[in-house]
Every structure is written in structure tokens, then in C-alpha cells.
A and B are shown apart, each in its own frame.
Chain A
Amino acid sequence: MAGDLRALVRALRRALPEESVLSGKDDLKPYECDGLAAYRALPGAVCLPRTRDEVAAVLRLCHQADIPVVARGAGTGLSGGALPLAGGVLLSLARLNRILEIDPLNRVARVEPGVRNLAVSEAAARHGLFYAPDPSSQVACTIGGNVAENSGGVHCLKYGLTVHNLLGLTVLDAAGEVMEIGTGALDSPGLDLLALMTGSEGLLGVVVEARLRLLPRPDRVRVLLAAFASVEAAGDAVGRIIAAGIVPAGLELMDSLAIQAAEAFVHAGYPLDAAAILLCELDGAPAEIAETEERVGAVLHAAGATHIHSAEEPAERARLWAGRKAAFPAVGRLSPDYYCMDGTIPRFRLPEVLAEIARLSERYGLAVANVFHAGDGNLHPLILYDAGRPGDLERAEAFGRDILALCVAVGGVITGEHGVGVEKLDSMCAQFGPSELAQFHAVKAACDPSGLLNPGKAVPTLHRCAEFGAMHVHAGTLPFPELERF
């Protein structure tokens, strides 16, 4: 690292109010990790600006000092995207937390990046509108973090991911220069930079404002809970629902370990004897829901559902979803540590992939709970381990990498919504060849010539992949040779 950190901190203190720059060890501690607590590092300093101009000042000073900057929202990310760099600056956007405007007629919310996801829908509710992407972490995570990760949620099956619900961004580059991306219209001239910025994990620019698309709240919502005697049967039912031409608002699967954990934690009313449950949300006009519910019910029965329950009362629906939304922390109570994976696969491979994960679980001797966005084929196996037991973390990580390699082998991808961060750098080598990786680096250089924004995350170096490949690919054998490839 080229720059002089102490001089930088002095300059930052002159540019920002006193309490907005932290550099004492105890003050830095809360920022040493994000939601992936297995990775920790103390930053050189933390900046907590309140305005766009202060953010620009921080970036400008870091740029001049040649010191890297890691942006951070709420720190709920699950791949180490907001993991600080030792000796670098951690730039928290959490204090830029104003909702600047709700325009009900154009259906747009203009917000600062530190606004919490749920706060947008709360502010839009009085206009009968909502912001569709709803990650399970929505009470805490920020819009800036959502944009940087292209976050999804239980409703993205019908309403899309963050990228589908964004109209514009104001972005600062590493030198603090401002760029308006998108217009007040549905498109803008030139390349689609809005798509490029979304999911770029803080490596291509720092978001200081977002214009979000708001949608009308559906008239009526119904949640179906279906119980199954096997995880495979539940996985199969998912494919059948979609095949029937039905696109539910959400379609989530939980296996028995997840069910037990959630039930013990929030008493959602899940059937404890089921091997798996599906939660299927339908929304729309009352007449339409009635019709769709009948069709979904028939499909679920045909797929072997042992029990179907339908909830329409808001309190009961909220209870059913509470179990799902609290599933990660609930599983966390079962074991000292858990490791959350995030691959996506083609839906029709669900049953065999779930079966293979169960086999891997046995082989590694580590339990797995599955709770995931089944309608999108987005898996979240939670690997239970104990960091206090020597070798457990390494085994959990190796197990995780095998799951991701399995996702790639069946035509899927290594991350659906949590991002690569530092965590999946090796798995990126399984997903992409050297030419694609070189193209990613070229794009990074085009957007951030200084290379100071969140360096080392999201895209592995070619060198790292060469080493990883040498370690993991045994002459001519692909992982999971027993699986059919397309």
C-alpha cells in the first residue's frame, strides 16, 4: 500500500466533523467483518459521512493518498464484500439515510444509499405502493448494499431482483467525481451502466443515491403451506408449478432441519413431521387468486403433498413468513456456527442436487439445513459447524466449494444473490475461464483506473485461479462425473 495512512486520517479529520472519522482500535472493532464473520480485518480508519459532499471528500482524499476504500452499508452481506482492508479506509454510507422523495404518480422513490430496504416500502405504503425486492435481511440491510449485491428476496420470482427495480443511480468514482446513471425515463442513452453497476460489489463506484421503482400493492395475498414426505418430492413440486404456467409471487422450500429450527425459534406453525415444506405466495385480484389457488392445489396434490394449508389473514401470513425470514438465525441456534451457501441451478435439477448435497453432508460429517428461493432455483444450504473444533471451518469451506462446483456442473452458477466478495474467489475459477476473468479486470480498469475501490474482491486474479486449478482439477476428471451435463 502506497499511501500514508496517518496523514490521510489527519486530512479526513479536517474535512469531516470530528466524530465522523474513527481510528481508535475499539472504535474500529465493530467494522471488522460483515455477515460472513469467519473473515475479519481491522481497517485503518472508518469514515461516517452524512452527505454526498462528505462522501466525495473522503474519496478524493483517499485517491490523493492512494489508499483503498471499502464501502459499507449495514454490513449484513454474506460474502465478505464489506470486509475491511487492513490499512485501508472503511467508508460507511449508513448515515446517508434519508428518503429524499416519493413520487406516487411516476412511482419512484429517490433515496440515499443508507436507507434500510424495509423503510422504502413503509414510506410508500400510504400511496398503496411498495418496493418489491425484499431480502430476508430487509429490516437491516441498506439500498446501497442491495444495489451492490443485486439482492433478491422471496418475491423476486414474480417481481425481479434489484436490477429490475432500479431506475437510476448517482455514483461517485474513486476520485469522488459524480456520475448520473439513468434518467427520469425508463431508459437512457448509451450503454446500460445501471445494469453494470448493479451487483458490482462496490468495485466500480460508490452509490450515493438511488431511484427505485415502486409497484402497486396487490389487492389480495394468499400463502399456501404444503408439506412433503421427502425433500425431492418438494423440489419436484416446484418444477411442476412453474411448468403449469403459474408464476407465484414467492415459492420457498425448507427442509426438516430448517423447519425444526424455525419452529423452535418463532413458532410459525410449521408441521414438525414433514421432511420438507413449500411456502407458495399468490397475489393479485381476488377472483384470480381463487382460480390460481385451485390450480396450485391440484399440482401440489399430484406432486405428493401430504398436507396443504392456506392462509389469507395478514397475521397468519406474517407468521408463516416469519419462520422463513428468521430461518438463518434460527438455524444459527442449532450450532455454534453456520456457513450459508448461495448457488443457483436450473430448477429441474433440484431433486438430484438436493440428494447430492445430502450425500456430501454425510461424507463431510457436517449437517446441512436447506431453506431457499426454490422458484428461482437459488439454493441456500446452511452448513453447520463449530469453529472451535479444529479443522471444522476448513471442512465446512471445502464442503461449500463442492456444493458450488456441483451447481456449476449442472449448468448453474456459484452465487445467486450474496455475491462473490472474498468468499467465493476460488469458486469463480470454476465458473469462468481466464478470458472472461481478464474481461472483468478490463471492465474494472475502465471504471476504476486507480483500482482503489474494494480491491481484491469479487474477481480473482488469473494467478490465483491457475493455482486453484492446479490444486483442484485432477487430470481430465470433472467434478461430479456421475451427473449428466448439458
Chain B
Amino acid sequence: MTMGADRTDDLRARVAAAAENGAPLAIRGGGTKDFFGGPITGEPLEMSGHRGILAYRPTELVLTARAGTPLAEIEAVLARSGQYLPFEPPRFASAGSASDSTNKGACAPGGTLGGAVASGLSGPRRPYAGAVRDYLLGVTVLTGRAEILRFGGEVVKNVAGYDLFRPMAGAMGSLGVLLDVSLKVLPVPPARRSFAFALDGGAAILAANRIAGRPLPVTGAVHDGGRLILRLEGSAAALDKALPLLEEMAGPAMPMDDDGAFWTAIRDHTHPFFAGDAPLWRLSVAPAAAPLPWHGPQMVDWGGAQRWLRGEADVGEMRRMAMAAGGHATLFRGPDRARAFQPPAPAVAALNGRLRAAFDPAGIFNRGRLGEV
């Protein structure tokens, strides 16, 4: 449908050779998430040349594209039909272009579709609209046996066989090379408005969770230290009606600019909170968990379910703090990459290992990137 290139044969040959030699491969899309997860080992397997939208029928609300297609291209094509990816995949700044110089032009800032799916990261709309995995309908994946398998499809209801497509989201490439991906998409809500409420952290978390328990069109809830900032999306009439109810629960509302810039900055980590070199921790916790005992800078997203903390800390302590709040801790950006992800409980970790071996017996894909599982 759009300018594309099919590199399946090259990729398959590379994987077959690597599998034979047991040589690790580092799957790489736009390289915008090179910083994320465990340390990168192995020869880069560049995906950005494998690109192009394969099928998009706006009336079906389904899009299929090769994994190396830039997210920006996909979102632009969707926008022309008034549609979008509701899970708001972050578009991080490029850390430098891909090593293959012919790909320079292709290495669009903001990353690729494959990287967005493999990293499993979702933006502020996640608690209200779902995560990447909730929009994933199917994948074609190149396994460690150099086999090309198709799981899922282009329909929203599908229970034929085990679900081997949703687990690709967040697997950090550890199960195989995503070749193409089918996603459910949705119409862009007709209206958007954002408001700020002067609340401290504890009050903001409580208010955000009470609000989430009411049928209100909230699609974003961030606490930036002094303010709870809510985003409403839906029909203009519904947004007008919602405001007095929000004020009842969160106090007087201050309207914000509605160009969406604030939410993009939260999504892409271009908000000043994310600037600088101090380690960035992501604590995924129960949404209503009390404010965390942290004295450094903190940003609360996902209506309380995602807490960003800045500063040096002991990884064990961070994990304990997250577990006490019902969740787990990730060192999102920081030096101790080998311990980026919190390991699951031993039985779960062992199953993770067996599943990875079932897809990639020689263990060639993104070794160590998903951490100690």
C-alpha cells in the first residue's frame, strides 16, 4: 500500500546462519529504545529496511504492516482516515542512526512498529483504553528455527490455538523476529480537553481512582508534583457535562491548552521531568497505592498505576517498594542494565525460560534483553 520493501528472505537467511552457529542477534528497529532493558549483545539485525503497510481498510479498523515501518508513517496514514492507535506508543528520540548507513533515511525518529510492539510500552491512555497487547490481533514471526509462523489474524475475536501473538508484546524480541503485525485501530475521539487541579500526590491518586470508578470520559491522569492533570476525550457534549462532576471530586479545574503537547511530552519523555542523566525508575503498581516513600522527583501517570522516580537508589530497595505497592520496578534508564527488569517469581521465571526455548532453542535472540528470566 505504501512504499515498502520486503526483507523477509535476508532476515531469514541471517537467522538461519545465526541459529546454526549459536551466534546471538540483537534485533533492532529504529534504535530509539537501545537504552531500554538488559544489555544488548550480538550482531545487530536491522529491521528498518523491512517496511511498508500491507493492508489497511479503515472500515475494518485493522491495519497490518511490516515491523520496520516507522510508527510516524503508520500514525500519519491512520490520521488521514480519522483513526489512531489508542494505546499511544511512545516515540522516543533517536539515539543515533542505525549502523547500516543505507538505512539512515529510513531510521525515522520515534521508532518502528515492531519496536513499539516488542517493548510493550503504552502511553497515558493505557489504563483507560488498554495496552499494546490489547490492540494486537496477529503477528508473523521468524523463530529461532528460522521458521516463519503466523499467529492470530486480522479479526478481533480469535481463540483458534494458544494465544501466541499477544505474548509478543513486551517480549523484547526474545521469542523471535516480528516480521509483520496486525493491530486493531479506532476512530479518533471527536473532542479533547485537559484540566489541572491543585492537589498533592495522595489526594491526586485518590481522586484519579475515584474518578476512574465513575463513567466519565477520562483518558489520562497525571500528577506532576503539584497538580493532577486530567485529559477528557469523547463527544463535546459529554465533556461539557463531565466537568462539574470532576470538580465535585477533585476541586476547581483550571483549563489547559489543548494542543495535546502536554500529553505528547509525557508519552515521549520530552517533559522536563525526564531530562538529565539521573537514573529513571518506572514502578508499575496498584493504581490506588498510597504515594511511594521517595524523596526525589516523582511523576505519577496512568491514574496512579505508573510512577516515575528519578535518582540513585538500590535496585533491591526499589523492587521491594514496588512489591509493597502491589507491583514491580524497572530501571528504565540507568547504568545497571543487567538488572533493568525485576525477575518474576522462580516458578514463573522458569516457565519464561522454557517458553523462550520453545521459540528459540539456541537462544540467539536478544540474549539478556528481557533480563534474568
State the A residues within 8 Å of B (CB).
103-107, 127-129, 149-150, 152, 156, 160-161, 163-164, 177-181, 183-193, 195-196, 198-200, 203-204, 216-219, 239, 242-243, 245-247, 284-288, 290-292, 344-348, 373, 376-378, 411-420, 424, 428, 431-432, 435-437, 439-440, 442-447, 458-459, 486
The reply to whether A416 and B131 form a contact with Cβ atoms under 8 Å apart is: no
The reply to whether B348 and A193 form a contact with Cβ atoms under 8 Å apart is: yes
The reply to whether A189 and B343 form a contact with Cβ atoms under 8 Å apart is: yes
How many Å from the CB of B202 to the closest CB on chain A? 13
Task: Determine if B164 is an interface residue (Cβ-Cβ < 8 Å).
Answer: yes
B-side contacts of A190, CB under 8 Å: 341, 343-344, 348-349, 352, 370-371, 373
A–B Cβ pairs within 8 angstroms, 28 of them: A103-B288, A106-B209, A150-B159, A163-B163, A179-B348, A185-B305, A186-B287, A189-B344, A190-B352, A196-B162, A200-B163, A216-B216, A285-B217, A285-B237, A285-B241, A344-B155, A346-B60, A348-B59, A411-B153, A416-B158, A417-B157, A419-B159, A424-B160, A432-B161, A439-B143, A445-B358, A447-B354, A486-B55
The reply to whether A439 and B209 form a contact with Cβ atoms under 8 Å apart is: no
Task: Determine if B92 is an interface residue (Cβ-Cβ < 8 Å).
Answer: no
| Chain B residues numbered 235-284 whose CB sits less than 8 Å from any CB in chain A | 235, 237-238, 240-242, 284
Most buried by B among A345, A431, A442: A442
Which among A199, A291, A345 is the interface contact of B162 at CB below 8 angstroms?
A199
Given contacts A190-B370, A243-B59, are A288 and B166 in contact (CB under 8 A)? Answer: no
The reply to whether B159 and A446 form a contact with Cβ atoms under 8 Å apart is: no
B-side contacts of A415, CB under 8 Å: 158-160
Task: Determine if B44 is an interface residue (Cβ-Cβ < 8 Å).
Answer: no
Task: Determine if B120 is an interface residue (Cβ-Cβ < 8 Å).
Answer: yes
State the B residues within 8 Å of A (CB).
55, 57-62, 82, 120, 126-127, 130-131, 133-134, 143, 147-151, 153-164, 166-167, 169-171, 174-175, 186-187, 206, 209-210, 212-217, 234-235, 237-238, 240-242, 284-289, 302, 305-306, 325-328, 330, 341-345, 347-349, 351-352, 354-359, 370-371, 373
In the complex, which residue of chain A has the Cβ closest to the Cβ of B136? A195
B-side contacts of A378, CB under 8 Å: 157
Which among B126, B153, B156, B241 is the interface contact of A286 at CB below 8 angstroms?
B241
A-side contacts of B306, CB under 8 Å: 186
The reply to whether B351 and A428 form a contact with Cβ atoms under 8 Å apart is: no
A113 to B210, CA, bound (A): 28
Which among A185, A191, A437 is the interface contact of B286 at CB below 8 angstroms?
A185
Q: Count A-B pairs with CB separation below 8 Å.
A: 270
Given contacts A127-B213, A285-B241, A346-B62, are A413 and B153 in contact (CB under 8 A)? Answer: yes
How many Å from the CB of B306 to the closest CB on chain A? 8
A-side contacts of B305, CB under 8 Å: 185-186
A164 to B349, CA, bound (A): 23
The reply to whether B344 and A344 form a contact with Cβ atoms under 8 Å apart is: no
How many Å from the CB of A348 to the closest CB on chain B? 6
In the complex, which residue of chain B has the Cβ closest to the Cβ of A198? B163
Which among B155, B210, B242 is the interface contact of A377 at CB below 8 angstroms?
B155
Which among B58, B284, B371 is the interface contact of A185 at CB below 8 angstroms?
B284
10 new A-B contacts, CB < 8 A, other than A105-B209, A164-B134, are A187-B131, A189-B341, A190-B349, A191-B174, A288-B217, A288-B234, A348-B60, A435-B149, A443-B355, A443-B358
